Amino acid sequence: MVDYDFIVIGGGSGGVRAARIAAQAGAKVALIEGSALGGTCVNVGCVPKKLFTYAAQFGQDFQDAKGYGWSVSEPQFDWPTLISNKDREIKRLNTIYAANLKKTGVEIIAAWGQYQGFEDSQHQIALSKDLAGKSLTGEVIQAPKILLATGGEPRRPSFPGAEHVLLSDDLFYLERLPKRLVIIGGGYIALEFACIFAQLGVEVHVMVRSEILRGFDEDLQAWLSEGLEQLKVQVHLQSSVQAVTKTETGLALTYSRADDEQAQTLEADQICAAIGRIIRLPTGLEALELEQAQIKVDAQLQTSVPGCFAVGDLLTTPALTPVAIRQGQWLAQTLFSDQAPTKDWHLPSVPTAVFTQPSLATVGATEAELRECQTAYKVYKSDFRPLKHVLAANTSRVGIKLLVSKDAREQVLGLHMSGAEGPELVQALAVGFDLGMCKADLDRTLAVHPTVGEEWVTLN
């Protein structure tokens, strides 16, 4: 039995940050990870998705260049080259994660952790060669404090023929680019992939049970709907999948619409489900108290088991890499140093980006949330064609929306933006949002002209 001060189960963004901060504070730390370091974000999430997004946008860039006098020969795209280069970059990042952990003194254990119980003030973790805990190595380690940072995995649908359907993670490893792709789901993962593949020349259909981007501001939904239409992505709203069957040429998806009881069929080369993610609990912790199918924690991120903490996608907090990183850092500082900025876990806001076409970015409240809370508010909005697109004959537009309190102070309650510059600009604007920025603060700021960003300080 090997003793540690802190055992982290899971080598994703939150777990790695917590392990590093704890080790830097002098704790003896073990990090257990049976797969590649970096978790969802590095391996099958943010990083490869953004690389795919860049690849998809070049097609439009080549077209835009002609309007600026560039003579562009017919561009050719090669999917295997993208996959190969993406894989090489991910392996490089895996190596960096390992090096940074070792540099701070964290012991990396390449295995899966199985919770054995709590004895003599120590949480005992058995090591296994497989996720299910059926191939135990015989080694057991223990610590008074453990962290669950095992993240989640794509939810598999339950309709007949679901075994023929890809999950969103699988799209990062396709051997060839399909000609026809159906994506099931209306969240940001489904729609990001829809835009990526559509821009690469794939015929894309999206099956949505209710509305796209549920929970996002209504204008962001509308602006994205226009973008999807421009990309010729065929969105089937109010549609439920009934079954998937194999055919001689590929797959057939049977579905029904809310306004039509008669079943309809779509044929495709590939069908992918992006209908949400479920938590991945270490074996032995099935009795943990849950809320909304996520692990329930207190204000110190402690689970129903004393001394056992959780961060990241396991919780009901937004499943975003920066949130997991901040949680991991705050927890390690709270447990092993006096550096934590607050007594309880808290975030003032969660800026978010959706890398569709157009890109979306948001921080703060939506109109629907303000109406639900009966908060009096005022809307400032602008929808325009950016200067860059004029000579390119590109019809894409930029939309910005500012929600403020309906009083003399006009405190900013929400910022929402559609357009290529949105994620970068909203990241900067989020600083002011967290400081309690008001409309007058934007009005006082001198515009940088000509830019897209100047629209935020010239709204009227």
Q: What's the rounded Cα separation, in Å, for the pair 205 and 186?
A: 11
Residue-level pLDDT, tens digit, the chain, 460 residues:
899 999 999 999 999 999 999 999 999 999 999 999 999 999 999 999 999 999 999 999 999 999 999 998 889 999 999 999 999 999 999 999 999 999 999 999 999 999 999 999 999 999 999 887 788 899 999 999 999 999 999 999 999 999 999 999 999 999 999 999 999 999 999 999 999 999 999 999 999 999 999 999 999 999 999 999 999 999 999 999 999 999 999 999 999 998 887 899 999 999 999 999 999 999 999 999 999 999 999 999 999 999 999 999 999 999 999 999 999 999 999 999 988 999 999 999 999 999 999 999 999 999 999 999 999 999 999 999 999 999 998 999 999 999 999 999 999 999 999 999 999 999 999 999 999 999 999 999 999 999 999 999 999 9
Contacts of 90 (CB under 8 A, 6+ apart): 36, 38, 42, 43, 47, 48
Distances (CA, A) of 409 to 78, 146, 406, 412, 436: 54, 46, 8, 9, 11
Q: What's the rounded Cα separation, in Å, for the pair 399 and 119?
A: 58
Q: What is the DSSP string of 162-208?
A: GGGPEEGGGGGG-SS--SEEEEE--SHHHHHHHHHHHHTT-EEEEE-
- Whose tokens are 């409309």? That residue is 439
* Spatial CA neighbour of 246 closest among 270, 263, 262: 270
* Axis crossing angle, helix 46-67 with helix 79-103, rounded to the nearest 10: 130
- Whose tokens are 């453990």? That residue is 146
User: What CATH fold (topology level) applies to the domain 2-153+278-336?
Assistant: FAD/NAD(P)-binding domain (3.50.50)
| Residues tagged active-site | 449
Give CA 87 to chain center in angstroms: 19
Contacts of 61 (CB under 8 A, 6+ apart): none
At 314, phi and psi to the nearest 5? -70, -20
Query: Would you say the C-alpha torsion 121, 127, 128, 134 has a positive or negative sign?
Result: negative
Query: Would you say the C-alpha torsion 184, 187, 192, 195 has a positive or negative sign?
Result: positive
Question: Contacts from 346-350 at CB under 8 Å and sequence distance 24+?
Answer: 347/317, 347/323, 348/434, 349/430, 349/433, 349/434, 350/318, 350/320, 350/323
Report pLDDT for 62.
Answer: 95
- CATH 3.50.50.60 maps onto the chain at 2-153+278-336, 156-275
Residue 335 three-state SS? helix
CATH assignment of 156-275?
3.50.50.60
Question: pTM for the complete prediction?
Answer: 0.96
Q: Which pLDDT tens digit goes with each residue over 65-99?
A: 999 999 988 899 999 999 999 999 999 999 999 99
Kindly give the pairing relationship between strand 412-418 and strand 166-167: unpaired
Contact between 19 and 8 under an 8 Å Cβ cutoff? The reply is yes
The partner residues of 235 in beta bridges, in order of sequence, read 206
Contact between 97 and 11 under an 8 Å Cβ cutoff? The reply is yes
CATH assignment of 358-457?
3.30.390.30
Q: What is the DSSP string of 438-454?
A: BHHHHHHSPP-SS-SGG
Q: What's the rounded Cα separation, in Å, for the pair 134 and 236?
A: 43
Q: What's the rounded Cα separation, in Å, for the pair 287 and 1?
A: 25
Query: Would you say the C-alpha torsion 82, 87, 185, 53 has a positive or negative sign?
Result: negative
Residue 39 three-state SS? helix
DSSP H or E run through 58? helix 46-67
- Whose tokens are 């939904």? That residue is 221
Q: Which pLDDT tens digit goes with each residue over 267-315?
A: 999 999 999 999 999 999 999 999 999 999 999 999 999 999 999 999 9
Residue 257 three-state SS? strand
In the 8-state DSSP scheme, what is residue 420?
T
Q: What's the rounded Cα separation, in Å, for the pair 381 and 268?
A: 40
Contact between 204 and 346 under an 8 Å Cβ cutoff? The reply is no
* Spatial CA neighbour of 277 closest among 111, 40, 115: 40
Query: Would you say the C-alpha torsion 426, 428, 431, 436 has a positive or negative sign?
Result: negative
* Spatial CA neighbour of 121 closest among 89, 93, 146: 146
Report pLDDT for 58.
Answer: 97
Q: What's the rounded Cα separation, in Å, for the pair 442 and 452?
A: 14
Length in residues, the chain: 460
- CATH 3.30.390.30 maps onto the chain at 358-457
Cα angle 186, 191, 192; round to 5: 150
Report pLDDT for 258.
Answer: 87
- Whose tokens are 């017919």? That residue is 74
